[in-house]
Amino acid sequence: MGIARTMIGAGLRVLGVAGLATGVMAGAANAADTIKIGVITDKTGNARFYAEPVLQGIMLATKIANANGGVLGKKIELLIEDDSNKPDVSASKAQKLIDAGVVAIISNSSSTATQQAQNTTIKTLIPQVTHNGSDTLTRKLDNKCFFQIGPLGSIQIRTLMAYARSKKLKTASLVTDNSALGQILAKYFKIGLEKSGVKVTVEEVIPAGSKSALPQMQKVRAAKTDAIFVAGVLARENTLFFRAYRQLGLKQPIMGSFNLSIPTFLRTAKGLMEGVTFIDAMDPAKPEAQAFIAAYQKEFGKKPFSLPAYGWDDMNFLIQAIKRAGSTDKAKLCAALQGSTGWAGALGAKGTAYDFSKGRAGFNPQGAVVRVIKNNDHGPVVHSGTK
Amino acid sequence: MLEISGLTAGYGGVEVIHGIDMTVETGETVALLGPNGAGKSTLLAALTGTLRRRGGKATYDGADLCSLDSHKIVAAGLRLVPEGRLIFGPLTVKDNLRLGALKLPRGGGRSVEERFDYVYDLFPRLKERSTQIAGTLSGGEQQMVAIARALMSAPSTLLLDEPFLGLAPIIVGEIQSALGALKKEGLTILLVEQKLDIALSFASRAYVLVKGRIALAETSEALLKRDDLSTLYFDLAEDA
Amino acid sequence: MSDLLELLVSATASGCVYGLVALAYLLVLRPTGVVNFASGEWAMMGAFAAYVLAGMLEVPTVVAIPGAVLVLAVIGWATEWFTVRPLVERGAGHLAPILALLGMLVIYHQATLLVFGGENYPLDGPFGFNRVELGPFAGTSQSFFIIVMTAVIFVAVWLFFERTVWGKSFEAVAINRRAAALMGINLRLVTALSFAGGAAVAAMAGLLDGPRGSVEVNAALPFAVQGFSALIIGGINRVEGAILGGIILAFAEDLTRRYVPIPSGLALGVTPVLLIAFLLVRPTGLLRAKEAG
Ligand SMILES: Nc1ncnc2c1ncn2[C@@H]1O[C@H](COP(=O)(O)OP(=O)(O)O)[C@@H](O)[C@H]1O
Ligand SMILES: [Mg+2]
């Protein structure tokens, strides 16, 4: 990466965000005339690398809505609060936003922080939207005004397993790292694989801070399984995995979690990931995704990965419901959100749409996709759905 | 010339020596006497920059010792052979000596090799043991290493802190004769000693330090004539 | 068998990285008696310095490597000057500099996080990762590069301490600070140079390891732990101990992960077990100090 390009890139990014900020704040001149929407995001904690690109999508959707005349004749005003991915802070920020008169809250933080914020939003039944995919978020509390955008973790796993079945795998190796999330994902992968009749014959862990993954990958090579599943979430250790895979001349298909959709890998494991398949929620062939991609490209001068699309859907989900409710009254808005059926966002496989009439996690279970890395980029969808 | 006036020094909050006045002329051999704990070693540490809490005035050939770091004092030609020898036990005799020559002034026809020859000449035993680990030498040999090491930088003044402490009489004799040779060469020497007989036979003048103050300054000759020599420290301590 | 030979090269390279961090500890520890846990941060920062030079400014590797090492040497020097020296000169206790350096560890960590975030950055090795075969041994060119560079550094450091009078002066300071001062050794200079040298060597560890996985702030703690473990295994008395400890640690880890039939999650326990064993059985490490008395 050249300095010139990097610097210009950084400059564009800064300008872009600044431009977005002015677009978002344009309506703030007369606060009474705006629709206030709260965002709880992680700007300083360990979830910020996911949260920051998502926030971009939220701001972009807001800017475009405001440029098109706003909603119900009013501009949208974003009130953004940082919770550092700390649950108690998240809850108190939710209260702060409610006190400031927001009509809804978007949670852009970890599942634990989002769960804790629900304890506040449930008291006033203020609509709360998140794209966090944790399955338990709608289970622990009967919060009628809490909604989830995007594929749940269980759908992601089922989609990957359906893909595995389509490949008629008999055996698989499972490689992860020693992070909490990596361990949990590996557990779900294993359960899913065994349910699908795929025998997991090797399970390897690449501990954080390892200098090489060669010993583990030699064991994987010796086991000669039909495929290798990667459940690790640590970028450095996953890079060691890909490097050892190449060094040892392995040829089996690699199937990975949603985590591999993070663009970091295209840089740290550059050229090592050709043919790797991974779970994603965005299908670049879907018209609504293309609309988002075009808007993003116009704003930032580069192609987006899927993360900003989550924020884009968060915001557009709220906007379409406010329009249908014809009001920002929280009860009416809540009902409109519940009644969102057939609304298609940027996320989801081509031809799928959200449906919140049957549950508060409205992502179409057939909407998650498996994509393949091609030319060191996120390539086309090779599989979608859980069947 | 070493000139000290009103020098104070101590550790932490405690002052140990209180306003010392003292002079050692170039080429002179002077003894600093005094009972255990009087502050002799403290005075030498203050002069050589390893004790930083000090006040008053001390100059060496005009250079202000109180403002110089220890390595600059060595470079100025004032060197201490410390109490307890402090040789580098894990290193060889040769390495110990080589480290002594770090501040050997460049030029003047002196080289490290010449200094090696010089100290080996003075202490032939060390030549035999040059590759031996210094920590394995006998106490007397270690003292020789300590003195030879100080001589490696061709100092103009040598401060010796109780060099004979705990040594067998034969070795004491050997070291005494080496010091005698140095004296004859005109090296300025300040010898710190508790035993009056050894000190007075070597030095031309003596200071007696008691409880951090100079209690007496006399020529060796005059001191030797006193008949209360055996109880001198005791009497002086009574007075102090 | 070819698996083993392939593993040896990679494990040796990992051991070299551990050994370099151990050497960074050692260089500071010997003359000052200070265990500097910020060594891991130095390694991480060295990798970042190399990334800035090679990855962002596109400086050629032959310049970027010494450049990054120099940057860290300056940081090490400044660390001594601003945090350790004032404490020592005010006569603070032995624990004070160790605590001050732990404080610096936090500052280094947060400062790097502030500038670079928690992202992972790619660092290219000068020779890439092509397969290189050397007789029966096979490994990546980066592994061989790590091994060669580490060997050069250790030989140079060893020669410095064993064969030069300046090296002996550092040793003298380590043995007895007061006696060293009486030799005319400038204690401040030796201390400052030890910190600069420690940081420079740590930087080498970081920038040699960087191309394998990527450069990230989180790499600092593993560096600190692995280097410290290698130091304890090899012993704190001699330069050779650092590399020996590093290689033993890496082999124990990699061979356990490869050949011991326990779940690979449990193989994580190798390092702490080895560390505890050495602390209990041979707290002075494998290599003794050279002297008898
Ligand atoms: N490092 C030190 N810290 C505190 N007090 C000391 C230290 N060294 C010596 N002293 C004290 O200073 C006084 C003088 O000691 P010293 O100079 O060694 O006496 P001398 O050399 O005349 O026997 C003694 O009371 C001794 O206990
Ligand atoms: Mg004394």
Per the CB < 8 A criterion, the answer to whether A248 and A216 are in contact is: no
Domain boundaries, given as residue ranges, for chain B: 2-77+156-239, 86-155
- What pLDDT does residue A2 have? 32
Chain B CB within 8 Å of residue C257 CB:
no
Amino acid at B44: L
Q: Say which residues have a Cβ less than 8 Å from residue A75's Cβ, sequence separation at least 6.
A: A26, A27, A28, A33, A34, A35, A66
Kindly state the average pLDDT of the residues B101-115. Answer: 89
Amino acid at A160: L
Chain A CB within 8 Å of residue C219 CB:
yes
Closest-lying ligand 1 atom to the alpha carbon of residue B45: 17
Tokens of B78: 């004032």
Helices (H), C51-186: 61-79, 85-89, 95-116, 141-163, 165-175, 177-182
Q: What percent of chain A has pLDDT over 70?
A: 92
Task: Identify the residue whose C-alpha is closest to ligand 1 atom 6.
Answer: B11
Residues C11-56: pLDDT tens digits? 999 999 999 999 999 999 998 889 999 999 999 999 999 999 999 9
Going by beta carbons, is chain C in contact with chain A, meaning 3 or more pairs sit under 8 Å apart? yes
β-pair partners for B32:
B192, B207
For ligand 1, the distance from its centroid to the CA atom of residue B33, given in whole angstroms, is: 15
Q: Say which residues have a Cβ less than 8 Å from residue C191's Cβ, sequence separation at least 6.
A: C31, C32, C80, C84, C85, C88, C173
Going by beta carbons, is chain A in contact with chain B, meaning 3 or more pairs sit under 8 Å apart? no
Per-residue confidence at B160, pLDDT binned at 50, 70, 90? very high
Choose among B85, B30, B34: nearest CA to B194: B34
- What pLDDT does residue C2 have? 78
Kindly state the average pLDDT of the residues C157-170. Answer: 95
Q: Say which residues have a Cβ less than 8 Å from residue B93's Cβ, sequence separation at least 6.
A: B126, B129, B130, B131, B132, B134, B137, B145
Element (H, E) at B159: strand B157-161
State in words which class domain A2-151+285-366 has.
alpha beta
Domain boundaries, given as residue ranges, for chain C: 2-218
Handedness of CA C46, C49, C51, C53 (dihedral sign): negative
* C contact test, residue of A84, A214, A238, A264 with most C CBs within 10 A: A214
Per-residue confidence at C289, pLDDT binned at 50, 70, 90? low
C181 to B70: CB separation less than 8 angstroms, yes or no: yes
Q: Among A41-50, A310-319, C176-185, which stretch is predicted with the lowest mean pLDDT?
A: A41-50
Burial class (CB in 10 A: 0-12, 13-18, 19+), C127: middle
Pocket test for ligand 1, best of B16, B33, B43, B233 (most atoms within 8 A of CB): B16
Number of alpha carbons in the 13 Å side-chain half-sphere of residue A295: 22
Element (H, E) at B210: strand B205-210
Per the CB < 8 A criterion, the answer to whether A344 and A326 are in contact is: no
Per the CB < 8 A criterion, the answer to whether B43 and B20 are in contact is: yes
Measured CA to CA, the distance from residue B229 to residue B113 in angstroms comes to: 45
Task: Identify the residue whose C-alpha is closest to ligand 1 atom 16.
Answer: B39
Which of B12, B50, B136 is nearest residue C182 as measured by Cβ atoms? Answer: B50
Residues A234-293: pLDDT tens digits? 999 999 999 999 999 999 999 999 889 888 899 999 999 999 999 999 999 999 999 999
Residues C76-135: pLDDT tens digits? 999 999 998 888 877 778 889 899 999 999 999 999 999 998 889 999 999 988 888 888
Pocket test for ligand 1, best of B14, B15, B41, B48 (most atoms within 8 A of CB): B41
| CA A148 to centroid of chain Cα atoms | 11
A154-281+370-384: CATH architecture: 3-Layer(aba) Sandwich (3.40)
* C contact test, residue of A50, A211, A248, A250 with most C CBs within 10 A: A211
Kindly state the average pLDDT of the residues A121-132. Answer: 94
- What pLDDT does residue C288 have? 65
Going by beta carbons, is chain B in contact with chain C, meaning 3 or more pairs sit under 8 Å apart? yes
Domain boundaries, given as residue ranges, for chain A: 2-151+285-366, 154-281+370-384
- What pLDDT does residue A32 have? 63
| CA C145 to centroid of chain Cα atoms | 16
SS3 C65: helix
Q: What percent of chain B has pLDDT over 90?
A: 85
Which positions in chain A touch C40 (Cβ < 8 Å)? none
Q: Say which residues have a Cβ less than 8 Å from residue C135's Cβ, sequence separation at least 6.
A: none
Q: What's the CATH superfamily of B2-77+156-239?
A: P-loop containing nucleotide triphosphate hydrolases (3.40.50.300)
Report whether pLDDT(B178) > 70.
yes
SS3 A172: strand
Mean residue pLDDT across chain C: 92
A218 to C258: CB separation less than 8 angstroms, yes or no: yes
Report whether pLDDT(A27) > 80.
no
Amino acid at C30: R
C186 to B71: CB separation less than 8 angstroms, yes or no: yes
Extended strands (E) in A178-224? 199-206
Measured CA to CA, the distance from residue C74 to residue B122 in angstroms comes to: 45
Extended strands (E) in chain A? 34-41, 75-82, 104-108, 128-130, 146-148, 171-177, 199-206, 227-230, 254-256, 277-280, 341-343, 354-355, 369-374, 377-384
Amino acid at C252: A
Do A2-151+285-366 and A154-281+370-384 agree at the fold level?
Answer: yes
Measured CA to CA, the distance from residue C127 to residue C139 in angstroms comes to: 12
Closest-lying ligand 1 atom to the alpha carbon of residue B36: 23
How far CA C89 is from CA of B50, B53, C81, C188, in Å, comes to: 12, 11, 11, 10
Which of C11, C17, C119 is nearest residue A264 as measured by Cβ atoms? Answer: C119
Residues A342-353: pLDDT tens digits? 999 999 999 999
Whether the complex's predicted ipTM surpasses the cut of 0.90: yes
Chain A residue at shortest CA distance from C16: A211
Residues C212-225: pLDDT tens digits? 999 999 999 999 99
Closest-lying ligand 1 atom to the alpha carbon of residue B192: 21
Mean residue pLDDT across chain A: 89
Extended strands (E) in chain C? 131-134, 137-140
Q: What is the pTM of this model?
A: 0.88
- What pLDDT does residue B235 have? 76
Residues B46-97: pLDDT tens digits? 999 998 778 899 999 999 999 999 999 999 999 999 999 999 999 999 999 9
* C contact test, residue of A6, A7, A212, A273 with most C CBs within 10 A: A212
Handedness of CA A2, A3, A4, A6 (dihedral sign): positive
Chain A CB within 8 Å of residue C12 CB:
no
For ligand 1, the distance from its centroid to the CA atom of residue B169, given in whole angstroms, is: 27
- Write out the DSSP string of B16-82: EEEEEEEEE-TT-EEEEE--TTSSHHHHHHHHHTS---EEEEEEETTEEGGGS-HHHHHHTTEEEE-
Element (H, E) at A60: helix A48-67
Report whether pLDDT(A11) > 60.
no
- What pLDDT does residue A6 have? 32
A342: alpha, beta or left? (left if phi > 0; alpha if psi -120 to 50): left
